[in-house]
């Protein structure tokens, strides 16, 4: 009997967050998940589960039955996006079309069929810090990003990497407007740098430009230099994927409607580290726990952002999440410190690599 199960439509279920979320939801018999993605590779372990229906669809394809799927589910979780900084620079129009236009269509169908939508946005909507605008040291002027009070400061148009943040921000603004004018029940999630198993491919194994952890891991396993973009001076606060999924599930469960028409940061301010220090920490953890005799010893070098990403790149110097809302409304606290975030993610990559080559 499936009738008592909560029916969830998970769009982008084959990605990093999507696969980890699907796996966790399926551990609980109370969910029935319909998963949509253009990619099945990372979802393979879950495909046979009786509580999962997987459909390989491209949401840009006008022939796919999205309306029917939304009608037949209770909650829509939308993770679909181009979520990789190199694409914001190389394919800004595609980024806008998918991350704003296509996702807006999903939200409008949720409004039409009176379904709750959980929309993944990004911490990038906050833009830059006050310190960077005033040309001050970001360490001396910490500026935690709060969902409901922080202003959002974007870079100039010529630095087109901001199109990702702007598309996500505009989508948030439209959802909010649909909420106040037409009663759309949305929850917006702003992830702050999740990492963990299945985050991305390694560039030596598949072409493309993944996120930072995979680049550094590639250096440790294949000996390619660990390249610090503009010296790696920016700071990020990393959250382990299991902690993030724990919070996302609390948002899905939505006790007493506390998440209705709310925005949630999900992040771990205690895990803040500069990218440069992340590279050093990764080397140390690798050497202490995983190093084998013939493993390479990559150099850490600095490259310009233009050399790494191309023209139009600009970055935020510091992103500190204010997670008071997730703590007070959902009683959520992340459990993994930065060392265990790095260790666990590294273990996943090392095991995969050794299984392939040893």
Ligand X SMILES: NC(=O)c1ccc[n+]([C@@H]2O[C@H](COP(=O)([O-])OP(=O)(O)OC[C@H]3O[C@@H](n4cnc5c(N)ncnc54)[C@H](O)[C@@H]3O)[C@@H](O)[C@H]2O)c1
Catalytic (active-site) positions = 164
> What is the Cα–Cα distance from 220 to 321, expressed in whole angstroms?
29
Judged by phi (left if over 0) then psi (alpha if -120 to 50, else beta), residue 250 lies in alpha
Which span sits near ligand X by CB under 6 A: 31-39, 134-142, 310-318, 333-341? 31-39
Q: Which residues pair with 9 in a beta bridge?
A: 34, 76
The answer to the question of residue 267 lying near ligand X (CB under 6 A) is: no
The answer to the question of residue 175 lying near ligand X (CB under 6 A) is: no
Look-up of token digits 């050399």: 307
CB 119 within 8 A of CB 107: yes
The answer to the question of residue 122 lying near ligand X (CB under 6 A) is: yes
Task: Transcribe 12-29 into DSSP letters.
Answer: TTTSHHHHHHHHHHHTST
Among 8, 9, 10, 12, binds ligand X (CB under 6 A): 12
DSSP-derived secondary structure letter, 153: B
Element at 11 (helix H, strand E): strand 6-11
The answer to the question of residue 39 lying near ligand X (CB under 6 A) is: yes
Q: Angle formed by the axes of helices 162-182 and 103-112, to 10°? A: 10
> What is the Cα–Cα distance from 87 to 103, expressed in whole angstroms?
17
Site for ligand X in 92-111 (CB under 6 A): 98
> In a 3-state reduction of DSSP, which class is residue 73?
coil
Q: Which residue is nearest to ligand X (CB)?
A: 15
Asked whether the CA dihedral 268, 269, 275, 281 is positive or negative, the reply is negative
Residue number with CB closer to ligand X (35 or 298):
35
> In a 3-state reduction of DSSP, which class is residue 338?
helix
The answer to the question of residue 38 lying near ligand X (CB under 6 A) is: yes
Residue number with CB closer to ligand X (290 or 336):
336
Among 31, 54, 120, 143, binds ligand X (CB under 6 A): 120
What is the total count of residues that contact ligand X (CB under 6 A)?
Answer: 24
Residue number with CB closer to ligand X (7 or 60):
60
The answer to the question of residue 238 lying near ligand X (CB under 6 A) is: no
Residue number with CB closer to ligand X (59 or 229):
59
What is the β-pairing status of strands 75-78 and 6-11?
A: parallel
Site for ligand X in 58-97 (CB under 6 A): 58-60, 79-81, 83
The residue among 261, 225, 198 whose CA lies nearest residue 43 is 198
Residues 132-171, one symbol each (x = binds ligand X by CB under 6 A, - = not), give ----------------------------------------
Site for ligand X in 178-217 (CB under 6 A): 191, 193-194
Among 8, 9, 18, 166, binds ligand X (CB under 6 A): 18
Residue number with CB closer to ligand X (79 or 259):
79
Among 9, 10, 17, 263, binds ligand X (CB under 6 A): 17
Following CA atoms 246, 42, 14, 36 in sequence, which dihedral angle do they give, to the nearest 10 degrees? -120
* Residues forming the site for ligand X (CB under 6 A): 12, 14-18, 36-39, 58-60, 79-81, 83, 98, 120, 122-123, 191, 193-194
């Amino acid at each position: 009997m499936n009738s008592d199960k909560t029916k969830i439509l998970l769009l982008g279920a084959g990605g990093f967050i999507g696969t980890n979320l699907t796996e966790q939801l399926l551990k609980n018999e109370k969910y029935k998940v319909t998963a949509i993605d253009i990619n099945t590779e990372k979802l393979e372990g879950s495909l046979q589960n009786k509580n999962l229906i997987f459909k390989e669809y491209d949401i840009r394809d006008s022939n796919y039955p999205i309306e029917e799927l939304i009608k037949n589910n209770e909650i829509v979780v939308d993770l679909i996006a181009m979520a990789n900084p190199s694409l914001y620079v190389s394919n800004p129009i595609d980024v806008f079309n998918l991350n704003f236009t296509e996702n807006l269509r999903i939200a409008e169908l949720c409004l039409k069929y009176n379904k709750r939508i959980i929309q993944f946005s990004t911490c990038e909507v906050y833009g830059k810090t006050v310190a960077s605008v005033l040309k001050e040291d970001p360490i001396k002027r910490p500026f935690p990003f709060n969902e409901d009070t922080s202003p959002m400061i974007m870079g100039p148009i010529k630095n087109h990497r901001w199109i990702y943040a702007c598309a996500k921000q505009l989508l948030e603004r439209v959802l909010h407007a649909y909420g106040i004018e037409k009663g759309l029940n949305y929850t917006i999630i702003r992830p702050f740098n999740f990492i963990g198993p299945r985050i991305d491919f390694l560039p030596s194994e598949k072409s493309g430009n993944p996120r930072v952890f995979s680049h550094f891991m590639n250096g440790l396993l294949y000996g390619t230099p660990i390249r610090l973009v503009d010296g790696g001076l920016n700071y990020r606060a990393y959250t382990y994927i299991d902690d993030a999924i724990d919070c996302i599930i609390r948002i899905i469960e939505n006790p007493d409607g506390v998440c209705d028409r709310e925005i949630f940061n999900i992040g771990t301010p205690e895990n803040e580290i500069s990218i440069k220090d992340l590279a050093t920490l990764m080397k140390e953890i690798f050497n202490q726990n995983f190093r084998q005799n013939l493993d390479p010893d990559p150099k850490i070098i600095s490259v310009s952002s233009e050399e790494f990403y191309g023209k139009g790149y600009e970055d935020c110097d510091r992103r500190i999440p204010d997670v008071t809302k997730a703590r007070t409304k959902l009683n959520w606290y992340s459990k993994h410190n930065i060392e265990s975030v790095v260790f666990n993610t590294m273990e996943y990559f090392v095991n995969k690599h050794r299984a392939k080559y040893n």
